[in-house]
């Protein structure tokens, strides 16, 4: 078990390093940011001087080595545009994205899992078919489109919720629903598939033969065994929520790291983009590690190394 977890951690850290390396070189090959920082009509000498001050005249490998050395000391550098420490900029935005991801995950779990269980248990009922249509709609609508529809309905027409920005807890409702809709559909489909697979097992028939109702058999036995694939999806979807937050934060003008990433890419603020990518990749690492721990807690065969 320990060797398995150690291997997973090593693979995830290696993947994070690979992502960081790719972003480092791609961003620098996309263009010279000094051209965006100098005043209009600046001379070639002024541009060269600023490029030297920022260190962009050095070979790429030298820049990369210096960046890694600073990263070890938790020094993410200074934003080229905002002229402020990158770590400070990032820590100001992270709470907003975490709140949005948590709200979206609450919507996805709170709606997706009960809907998936209902579709499995009542698979031949008209309610199951209605829920399947609901899940298909949630999966098919693009995030930006569902966000715009929510704004038009609840923000503009009904005026129940704020349309953009951060203006109290109600501002979190529409972004959370828009971001969590696709993940909700994923949870619903995965839960339905896992529960249906378990309902065909012999132990369920044995439980029913002992006098348990279908609802009791599902609650006592099926849900625990069906939870393993759902846990797998949950770990991956948390990272996907952070990635999908880029679109949602742009639609709702939500001041999280997604909006920060878009603004930084447009201005070629390399160090901020790298910090955002590193944060998201580390979240993936942490989520997959927690998923491995959850497997061991749910399935004793993993703890025993079977």
For the chain, how many structural domains are there in total?
Answer: 1
- Per-residue pLDDT tens digits for 91-107: 888 899 888 888 998 88
- Whether 42 maps to a domain, the answer reads no
In a domain, 127, yes or no: yes
Whether 273 is covered by a domain: the verdict is no
Helices (H) and strands (E) in the chain, counts: 14, 0
Least confident among 6-15, 210-219, 254-263: 210-219
Which residue is associated with the tokens 């938790």?
74
More confident: 211 or 138:
138
Q: Is residue 84 part of a domain?
A: no
Contact 269, 257 (CB under 8 A): no
pLDDT, tens digit, 9 for 90 and up, residues 15-35: 778 877 887 888 777 766 777
pLDDT band at 297 (very low <50, low <70, confident <90, very high): low
The answer to whether residue 262 is domain-embedded is yes
Residue found by looking up tokens 């348990």 in the block: 212
Q: Does residue 174 lie within any of the structural domains?
A: yes
Residue 292 lies inside a defined structural domain of this protein? no
Residue 252 above 80 pLDDT? yes
Say what percent of the chain tops pLDDT 90.
1
Q: How confident is the model at residue 298 (pLDDT cuts 50, 70, 90)?
A: low
Q: What confidence category does residue 197 fall into, taking pLDDT thresholds of 50, 70 and 90?
A: confident
C-alpha 230 chain-centroid distance:
16
- State pLDDT tens for residues 238-247: 777 776 778 8
As a whole number of angstroms, the distance between CA 237 and CA 113 comes to 14
Provide the token pair at 68.
Answer: 């890694």
Instruction: Tell me if 241 sits within 8 A of 179, measured CB to CB.
Output: yes
Q: Identify the DSSP state of 85.
A: B
Q: What is the CATH number of the domain that holds 148?
A: 1.10.3720.10
Q: How far is CA 164 from CA 93, 95, 145, 147, in A?
A: 16, 17, 15, 11
Paired tokens of 37: 């920082």
Cα–Cα distance, 186 to 192 (Å, whole number): 10
Domain, as residue range, for 258:
95-268
Lowest mean pLDDT across 143-157, 181-195, 222-236:
222-236
Q: Looking at the domain assignment, is residue 256 inside a domain?
A: yes
- pLDDT given at position 4: 61
Q: What number of other Cβ atoms are within 10 A of residue 214's Cβ?
A: 14
> Whole-prediction pTM value?
0.77
Query: For residue 297, what are its two tokens?
Result: 């807690």
* Ramachandran area for residue 85 (φ above 0: left; ψ -120 to 50: alpha; else beta): beta
177, 178, 192, 179: which is closest to 222 by C-alpha?
A: 192
Is 306 a residue whose pLDDT tops 50? no
């Amino acid at each position: 078990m320990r060797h398995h977890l150690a291997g997973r951690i090593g693979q995830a850290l290696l993947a994070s390093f690979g992502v960081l390396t790719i972003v480092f070189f791609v961003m620098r090959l996309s263009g010279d940011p000094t051209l965006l920082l100098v005043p209009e009509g600046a001379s070639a000498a002024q541009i060269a001087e600023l490029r030297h001050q920022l260190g962009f005249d050095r070979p790429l490998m030298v820049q990369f080595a210096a960046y890694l050395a600073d990263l070890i000391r938790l020094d993410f550098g200074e934003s080229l545009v905002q002229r402020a420490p990158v770590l400070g900029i990032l820590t100001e935005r992270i709470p907003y994205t975490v709140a949005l991801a948590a709200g979206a995950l609450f919507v996805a779990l709170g709606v997706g899992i009960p809907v998936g269980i209902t579709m499995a248990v009542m698979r031949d009922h008209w309610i199951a078919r209605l829920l399947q249509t609901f899940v298909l709609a949630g999966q098919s609508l693009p995030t930006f489109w569902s966000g715009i529809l929510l704004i038009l309905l609840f923000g503009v027409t009904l005026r129940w919720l704020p349309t953009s920005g951060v203006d109290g807890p109600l501002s979190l409702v529409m972004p959370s629903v828009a971001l969590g809709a696709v993940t909700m559909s994923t949870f619903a489909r995965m839960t339905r598939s896992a529960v249906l697979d378990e309902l065909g097992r012999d132990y369920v028939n044995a439980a029913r033969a002992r006098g348990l109702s279908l609802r009791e058999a599902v609650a006592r036995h099926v849900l625990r065994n069906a939870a393993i694939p759902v846990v797998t999806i949950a770990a991956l979807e948390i990272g996907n929520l952070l990635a999908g937050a880029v679109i949602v934060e742009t639609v709702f003008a939500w001041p999280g790291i997604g909006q920060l990433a878009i603004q930084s890419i447009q201005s070629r603020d390399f160090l901020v983009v790298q910090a955002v990518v590193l944060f998201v990749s580390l979240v993936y690492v942490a989520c997959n590690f927690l998923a491995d721990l959850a497997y061991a807690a749910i399935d004793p065969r993993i703890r025993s190394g079977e």
